[in-house]
């Protein structure tokens, strides 16, 4: 890599070479049968070079030096044709990395066969537990990634690791009732996925869903589950923590560092080293050391996160939140492993205290939330009605609100903490909110 950097310096004032090697195995379910098993692997090199503040960016799906040299030349041609970016300062300088957890090498050699067997076990178990259930869909996957990032200022960092995930979608048909698709999932840094737990939780939710209850306009306590939280926060809240949005004046959190923006029970941070993290990276996409960045501490907003570019534009330092977009090759501000700190009591106890309210498993329409102001309008589906401390059926309703008002109404976080591997990866308890306005549907 050293030689390639020297080669690139003939064309550029500074440059970065990022090599990604990956292996992904997966297997899918459709209508109670295994529909596909796949093995994919590959290498990708991304060149980012700057000459007179002009950017060149080239991607090539190879890690072989002659192909990388071609990509360097392509990036150089592009840089000559682009205009200078007067805001450009420089690529990152070397930093000190923490020692991360050891990778689990069994993930590197995973085969789809193991996933197929796991899914077959899940399908069998689900249908044994409830004969009215169809496993409508599902997937098991294992990803392994090796990253090597070097730049002409001396950054040189290699890391590798993997994770496994599983999700199942169940639909129950009983009498005239067809339940909505009911999801559950598991993800961790080992092949020891909790198939039994996924099935048990999903079947329990299907059972609740057989009893359909009307919803009406009212103010009620609601408990949000991991999938609902990940959906809503990924679109309505997390983008507001981005330093780029502070510079561009598109975050409602500008000027609010140190202010109370949520209830005391909420502490939210980004921490790739959390014990449940499925991607414990020591460096971000441009080689900056990662760290634990607290965003909300007991309700108080603690600050923004930055990548190298926007940090330097703003006159601050990268917080290690430059995430590589493998498709475009570019760096965007993002999160490695968001964590909502958990509490002391289990979900069961929290439900047991609710006289009338809902437990919301998933939201539809969260992607159209507005992170500029936190407004959202979502459909809670599936949502489960709680009466006198017990779940008694399922329902659908709308919530149109503002995520910051919601944050202030949080009153408890449960002891359970779940890794939600889709959208922004988030490790979260169930969270209870009071007096949420819902509209019956």
Applying CB under 8 A, the residues found at the interface with a second copy are 27-28, 32-42, 55, 57-61, 70-71, 74-75, 77-78, 81-83, 85, 111-113, 116-117, 120, 328-330
CB nearer a second copy, residue 59 or residue 396: 59
Report the nearest approach of a second copy to the CB of residue 29 (Å).
10
Q: How far apart are CA 82 and CA 96, in angstroms?
A: 34
Q: Six-digit token pair at 396? A: 């659908």
Beta carbons of 433 and 399 less than 8 angstroms apart = no
Report the nearest approach of a second copy to the CB of residue 198 (Å).
18
Q: How far apart are CA 227 and CA 426, in angstroms?
A: 9
Report the nearest approach of a second copy to the CB of residue 291 (Å).
29
The SS3 assignment for 407 reads helix
Beta strands 218-224; 356-360: pairing state:
parallel
CB nearer a second copy, residue 116 or residue 350: 116
CB nearer a second copy, residue 27 or residue 403: 27
Rounded to 5°, the CA angle 240-245-250 comes to 80
Residue with tokens 């991991």: 226
CB nearer a second copy, residue 23 or residue 207: 23
Q: How far apart are CA 382 and CA 359, in angstroms?
A: 9
* Sequence-distant (≥ 6) Cβ neighbours of residue 64 within 8 angstroms: none
Looking at residue 130, the DSSP 8-state letter turns out to be -
Beta carbons of 345 and 414 less than 8 angstroms apart = yes
* β-strand partners of 167: 139, 185
CB nearer a second copy, residue 124 or residue 298: 124
Report the nearest approach of a second copy to the CB of residue 84 (Å).
10
What distance lies between CA 216 and its chain's CA centroid? Answer: 32
CB nearer a second copy, residue 18 or residue 58: 58
What distance lies between CA 92 and its chain's CA centroid? Answer: 25
Rg of the chain (C-alpha set) = 24
Q: How far apart are CA 61 and CA 49, in angstroms?
A: 18
CB nearer a second copy, residue 85 or residue 219: 85
Report the nearest approach of a second copy to the CB of residue 307 (Å).
16
CB nearer a second copy, residue 75 or residue 420: 75
Residue with tokens 């949502």: 383
CB nearer a second copy, residue 28 or residue 425: 28
Beta strands 426-428; 418-420: pairing state:
antiparallel
Report the nearest approach of a second copy to the CB of residue 112 (Å).
6
Report the nearest approach of a second copy to the CB of residue 309 (Å).
13
Beta carbons of 37 and 26 less than 8 angstroms apart = yes
Report the nearest approach of a second copy to the CB of residue 378 (Å).
16
Looking at residue 280, the DSSP 8-state letter turns out to be -
Report the nearest approach of a second copy to the CB of residue 82 (Å).
5
Looking at residue 367, the DSSP 8-state letter turns out to be G
Nearest Cα residue to 308 out of 366, 243, 227, 388: 243
Report the nearest approach of a second copy to the CB of residue 22 (Å).
11
CB nearer a second copy, residue 117 or residue 434: 117
């Amino acid at each position: 890599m050293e030689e390639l950097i020297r080669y690139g310096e003939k064309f550029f004032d500074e440059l970065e070479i990022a090599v990604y090697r990956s292996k992904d195995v997966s297997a899918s379910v459709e209508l109670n049968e295994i529909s596909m098993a796949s093995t994919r692997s590959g290498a990708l090199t991304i060149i980012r070079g700057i000459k007179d503040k002009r950017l060149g960016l080239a991607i090539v799906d190879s890690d072989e030096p002659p192909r990388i040299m071609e990509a360097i030349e392509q990036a150089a041609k592009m840089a000559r044709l682009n205009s200078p970016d007067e805001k450009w300062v420089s690529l990152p300088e070397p930093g000190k990395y923490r020692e991360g957890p050891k990778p689990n090498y069994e993930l590197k050699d995973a085969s789809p066969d193991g996933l197929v067997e796991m899914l077959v076990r899940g399908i069998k178990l689900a249908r044994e537990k409830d004969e009215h259930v169809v496993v409508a869909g599902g997937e098991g996957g294992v990803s392994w990634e090796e990253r090597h990032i070097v730049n002409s200022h001396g950054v040189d960092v290699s890391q590798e690791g993997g994770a496994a995930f599983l999700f199942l979608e169940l639909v129950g048909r009983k009498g005239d009732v067809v339940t909505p698709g009911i999801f559950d999932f598991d993800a961790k840094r080992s092949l020891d996925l909790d198939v039994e737990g996924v099935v048990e939780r999903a079947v329990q939710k299907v059972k609740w869903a057989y009893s359909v209850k009307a919803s009406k306009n009212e103010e009620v306590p609601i408990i949000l589950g991991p999938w609902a939280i990940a959906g809503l926060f990924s679109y309505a809240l997390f983008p507001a923590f981005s330093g780029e949005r502070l510079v561009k004046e598109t975050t409602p959190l500008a000027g609010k560092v140190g202010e109370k923006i949520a209830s005391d029970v909420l502490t939210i941070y980004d921490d790739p080293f959390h014990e449940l993290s499925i991607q414990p990276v020591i460096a971000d996409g441009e080689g900056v050391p990662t760290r634990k960045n607290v965003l909300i501490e007991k309700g108080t907003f603690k600050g923004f996160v930055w990548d190298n570019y926007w940090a330097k534009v703003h006159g601050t330092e990268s917080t290690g939140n430059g995430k590589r977009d493998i498709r475009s090759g570019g760096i965007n501000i993002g999160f490695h492993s968001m964590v909502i700190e958990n509490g002391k009591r289990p979900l069961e106890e929290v439900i047991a205290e609710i006289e009338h309210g809902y437990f919301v498993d998933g939201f539809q329409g969260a992607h159209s939330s507005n992170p500029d102001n936190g407004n959202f309008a979502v459909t809670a589906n599936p949502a489960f009605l709680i009466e006198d401390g017990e779940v008694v059926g399922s329902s659908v309703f709308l919530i149109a609100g503002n995520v910051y008002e919601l944050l202030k109404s949080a009153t408890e976080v449960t002891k359970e903490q779940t890794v939600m591997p889709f959208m922004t990866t988030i490790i979260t308890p169930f969270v209870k909110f009071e007096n949420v306005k819902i509209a019956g549907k």
